[in-house]
Each structure stands twice: as C-alpha cells, then as structure tokens.
Structure 1
C-alpha cells in the first residue's frame, strides 16, 4: 500500500523530476535532442549552469499553488470565510515578485523566503502578462483567450487536498486566473481531478475515465475531452510513442500537454522512469509534459516508485518534501504554522 504521505511526496517531487528532465531540451526539436544526447534522447537528469538539477517555472508555480491552498485553509479556519482562488492568486503574485516584477502583495510566509525560487527559468509570457495586469481572471470573466499549458502545469496539488469534483472546479478556477480559454483551464481541472481520484484509491485508468466524465459536463469542453479520449485510445494502439505523441500535439497548449502526459502515464504506469523519459523526448514543451506526467505517476506510484537518486538530486527536493508533510497536516493551530502560511 502507498501511504498518503508517499503519494503527496511522489506527486510534488515527481513533477519536479519530470520538469527538470525536460528543461534542458524544452526548446529543442527531437532531431536536435537525439543529436545531442544519442538515439534514446535525454534519459538522465542534467545539472544546469547553477550546478543544480534545475526545476523551472512549472515547479515554482506548483509550489506557490501549494502555498495558496494552505494559506486559504488557514484563513478559512480562523476567519470563517475564504475565497480559495483569490488566495491562490495572491500566492501567484508572490511568484511574480520572485521573477523580478514587483507586485502589491505581502512578501511573507516561508515559501517566499526560499532563495532558490528567486530565479527566472523561462517563465511563460501569459502568466507574466496576466499577473502584471493587476486583474484576476475567472472562468466567467476571462482575462485573455490563452490556452497555453501554463495553467495546467501548476494545478496538480489541488487534487491532493480536495475531493474529486471540488478539485476539478478549483483546478479550473486556479488556471483561469491567467488562462481564459476553456481548454486552458479545463485541462487544469482534469489534472486536478485525476490526482484526487488517485488519492481516493482509484486505479489510473479509472481516474482518467472519471476525469473525462466530469470534463464533458462543462461548457466548451469538446476540444479538451476529445484529445484526452484520443490519448487513452492511443495507449492501446500499436503505433510508436513518437507517432502517438506527435498525433496529440507538442504540448504548448493545455489540452495537448495533458493528453501527452496522460498517454505517457497510462502507457508506462508501473515505470516512472520510462514514462517521464517518453514524456520529454519530443518536439514540444518537454518540461511541462515531463512535469505533468511526473505529477500523475508520482501520485500513483508514490515516492518509493521513483529512482532514489533522482529524488535526491532534483532541486528543492527537501522543500518539496516539507510541503508534502504540510499538505498531509493541512492545518496546525500554532504560531509557527501561522507564520509559515499566514491566513491572508
């Protein structure tokens, strides 16, 4: 049996591993990846210029999603009322500050003090522009028409903390803060649901099937739901992984990133290493498809289902471990906790 803590650790650290594996090849075409790393592509974590196995904005924003959720829980318990997406939005504004863009938000809590987060790792323009606008996007009042994968790549933690249907809605709301196209936020809702279903004890195939059933209940879901269906069907086909991924897209937009990740996770659901290697070796957004695949399979297999050396090597592994412990606790009525996750 995989414990709850192991699933939480696996989800967060697994996402960071997939992110870090894909980061060196994010902007390379497949032929360039093979030319640089050999016919199998990139298969091992690689240290960057900082001499670290670097995470990117995908993991950075995932961390700030966790912070927002725990701050919202604190606020709700102590003030009796909370609008979770708004608290998450303010955490994203703190992330914006770590990228060198000043915003009018409290710079408190322990996450903002993590030095390793105060670095730019190719942050998405949509996230930057939306957060710099001073407006918070919602599904009802979209801030733009973007369906980039910057929404889905950060919402896995929502599925750790909330039950399935609530996780889907909150995943959508959190992505819609910066991404206004339905495929940009429905993909995030679907990922959050898949994670919540895994935590609830569903097998991976059932988790994806249930997420799809929830997705089609939302307006303008056809694009996202059809690509998820295609990804599921491709796992039972005889075509190569490269052909399958190529037919799903390149992952720069939400529904493609999720579909590629679902394909890789389902196809290699008992082999974390094979799944994330497959997820990053293609023409598109390698770090995001790696991160989402890592989130899904990390939650499914747990921490012990991932290569131990990868867990130790990836940047901010200790901090991600602490976040997983805090998510399991959800809340502590202590002064130390209130300072870590101020309820405002």
Structure 2
C-alpha cells in the first residue's frame, strides 16, 4: 500500500474512532452546562466514565452504537441498505439501548409494531407534531460519508435515507447530508473552503443558513442542544477553530449541553482530518469495542477505495 492510501486509511479509522471517542468523553457530562462542568471537573480531558449513564471509562452511548449498526451493515452488504440498517437498529433496541432519544424510540417502536423502515420515521414525525429535527441521525451517519466520499449523488441519497429511518424532518435529513459532505471534502483534502463548498450543495434553506453562520459565531453564541442544526454548528465550529484532534474534541465536550453528540460529530470531522495517529493513546486504549470499530473502518475503506 502506498503512503497516500496509508494516509486515507488512517483518516477512515480516525473518523470512526473519533466519533466514538467524542461520544465516550462527552457522555459523563451530558446535560450539564459549561459552567457546571467547570465547577465539577475543571475541564474534561480524560475518559472519566460514570455520569447519568453510569458508563465505565471509554464506554459509549447510542451515538456510537447506532453508528456501528450502520457500519456493520455496510461491511456485510457491501453498500448502504436502509432496510438492513433498520433491522440492526431493532436488534440494538431490543438489547436495551443506552441513551436512546425519544424520536428514535418512537420510530423503532413503530417498526416493532409492523411499520416498514421508510414509514417509521414519518410516523414518529407525525406523533411528535412535526418535531423530528433532533440530532439522532447526524450523530450516527459518518460511515456513509466514508463509503460515498467519491459519489456525491449517492452520498445525498444514502444520507437522507439513513435519517428517515427515525428522523423524517428535512433539517435532520440535510443535516446528515451536510456532515457527510464535510467528511467527504475533508478526505479529499478540501478543508480551506469547507463551509462554502458544502453550503452551495445543500438544498434545504435552514441547513444552508446554519452553515453560513458557523464562521461568524463566537463561543458565547454556540447552543450545543439536541437540535440538529445546533449540533452541526457547534461541531463544525470546534473543528474549524482548533488545530488538533485533541483540542477539537476537548473544546466540543466542554461546551455543555448535548456533549456526547457534539463530541461525537466533532470527533468524526477531526478524525477524518487528522487521522487515527492523532487520537491520544489514553483515549484510544479504554475505548469500548475499539478493535471492532477499527476493523469496520478498514472494511468500509476497502469498499470505498481499494
């Protein structure tokens, strides 16, 4: 394998491990404000474990668990198949998920009652009064950005389909598209004009406007909530205003709010940029299912590149 392929493989591994690391780091302080984090911990820089999920150091939540469902399906099927992904989501759901969101719970419950994969998200959307623009699909979609990084039209379709299994809202769907487009651009070495490049390809006005706002934000304006566009803006800001994997993820998980998901999304972006070698060993070693995550990243790399 030549050095350019070595580098690309490292970025695939970094993206998926980065997502899991960000999730695990942020899980302990999920729901706390930045001020509460500072009072209790000073600054989160280590895998502490516990929190309201009661996880061990390196343990992950629904963000990584659902990402792994997508990654396993891609490697098994050789492509993105939403029906198979939905089946894997149901297997995870039946096993007693950690940290499952309300929208996802309603959608998967609908599937257990007989709804198809392409009906369940719409059912949840309607039961929630048209409010399914949470970050539950953007948190898990990174394997699609890796698989489809050379195929823009397929990336858009697969990202939207992956969201609609649980999150039907156009903002959630196009938020997933935006993240996966960002991952694809980063893999191609296009970080410099990242925001404008993605914005010009987004067909959803609120998502396009959110991307336009990122470069003008200051830290006090970040709202790291469970709303998909707040998560997207916070994660992109943390990635673009730092110069290392560690600084990006530490910044993300110390914002407060939905820390595990902002950390996961930022970790996916930073990992795709800096590669697996940039992930600190003290974070990598205790990471739950580390070897499987690395193996799946290599499997997706072989489908996308080799």
Q: TM-score range by the shorter chain?
A: 0.7 to 0.9
Match of 2:171 in 1: 183
SS of the aligned residue for 2:100 comes to coil
SS of the aligned residue for 1:142 comes to helix
Tell me if structure 1 keeps the 8 A contact 2:246–2:278: no
Aligned with residue 231 of structure 1, among 211, 214, 222: 214
Structure 2 unmatched runs, 5+: none
TM-superposed deviation, 1:137: 5.6
Alpha-carbon separation, structure 2, partners of 1:193 and 1:211: 6
Match of 2:109 in 1: 132
Moved more, 89-98 or 144-153: 89-98
Match of 1:90 in 2: 87
Match of 1:121 in 2: 98
Structure 1 unmatched runs, 5+: 75-82, 100-119, 332-344
Tell me if structure 2 keeps the 8 A contact 1:165–1:193: no
Q: Does 1:32 align with 2:36?
A: yes
Match of 2:68 in 1: 63
Instruction: Provide the aligned C-alpha RMSD in A.
Output: 2.2
TM-superposed deviation, 1:50: 5.2
Mapping 1:311-326, distance limit 5 Å: 311-326=284-299
Match of 1:258 in 2: 232
Aligned length: 286
SS of the aligned residue for 1:153 comes to coil
* 1:134-176: CA deviation from partner (whole Å, max 9, x where unpaired): 224649x833130110011000110111123321221111011
Match of 1:165 in 2: 153
Aligned with residue 150 of structure 1, among 123, 129, 136: 136
- The structure with the larger Rg is 1
Mapping 1:43-58, distance limit 5 Å: 43-48=45-50, 49=54, 51-58=56-63
Change (3 A) 1:228 1:50: closer
Alpha-carbon separation, structure 1, partners of 2:253 and 2:264: 9
Alpha-carbon separation, structure 2, partners of 1:329 and 1:26: 35
Alpha-carbon separation, structure 1, partners of 2:92 and 2:196: 33
